[in-house]
Amino acid sequence: MDKIEIRDLEIFANHGVFPEETALGQKFVVSAVMYTETRPAGLADDLSASINYGEVSHMITDFLQKNTYKLLEAAVENLAEMLLLSLPLLKKITLRIEKPWAPVGLPLKTVAVEITRGWHTAYVAFGSNMGDKKKYLDNAIQGLRDMKEIVVEKVSEYLVTEPYGGVEQDEFLNGALRVRTLLCPEELLDRLHVLEQAADRKRIIHWGPRTLDLDILFYDDCIIDSPALTVPHIDMQNRGFVLIPMAQIAPYHRHPVLGCTVGQLLSRLDGSLS
């Protein structure tokens, strides 16, 4: 991916733990590496097809002068989020904020915090088999759209399916969606749990009835195995109610562990059932 860099932008602002730092202010030095596609602008010689580093420099300056943070960690995190949300062509950013001559009682040149943040692609399966199923699913999707760190890009049709797992219960309404998100996997999982709780989801019977079920299927090409989260979803290759809607929105998405596309997994599952 191409890069546009801003190096050593000097800003006088009011950030710090000590009262005198926020009252008197001090100099900060900001550098940014912005990841984007510069080819369209390069071929057309058109600034509107690129990221205007002059405008970004003013955005950084205004943000750091209008907001006050105790920690550099908070300043750089919030600044990165603001830029990613404000600049449609910005895919990822490495942002560094330096604090020259920080008041630590020792001779030092500077301290700095540097982070890299960006947009990620995740696929989420959803389902309901209690009450007004469609309303639960509609509300959950709208809830995702209402979160500033999430952009819902594609939603499958709703699919009526039989229960999975051997528990007698009503049929399900299932589907899948693709989101672009600034959240890390664990943060995304927390947001999904909030939506489930808003739908009064009860976790009483394993594979039992539920008002709303939201599962992360894929997160970029990450492989995650933790007590709280397994990605890719551990049993998706055996679940037609997951693969069918996924094949509607991303048939060529490749499973990073199994090495097969969603379409291939669905074909194999259909073959095993015939």
Q: Which residues are catalytic?
A: 99
What is the residue-wise DSSP string for 170-181?
PPEEEEEEEEEE
Q: Could you identify the residue written with the tokens 């330096």?
A: 98
Closest CA to 213 of 229, 227, 197: 197
How far is the C-alpha of 135 from the C-alpha of 93, rounded, in Å?
38
The conformation of residue 236, written as its DSSP 8-state character, comes to: G
User: Which residues make Cβ contacts (< 8 Å) with residue 240, sequence separation at least 6?
Assistant: 161, 266, 269, 270, 273
Asked if 119 and 108 touch (Cβ cutoff 8 Å), the reply is no
Q: Read off the amino acid at residue 207.
A: W
Alpha carbon separation from 271 to 179, 252, 267, 274 (Å, rounded): 30, 18, 6, 5
Alpha carbon separation from 153 to 40, 109, 191, 195 (Å, rounded): 23, 46, 17, 18
The conformation of residue 261, written as its DSSP 8-state character, comes to: B
Alpha carbon separation from 173 to 100, 109, 134 (Å, rounded): 57, 60, 7
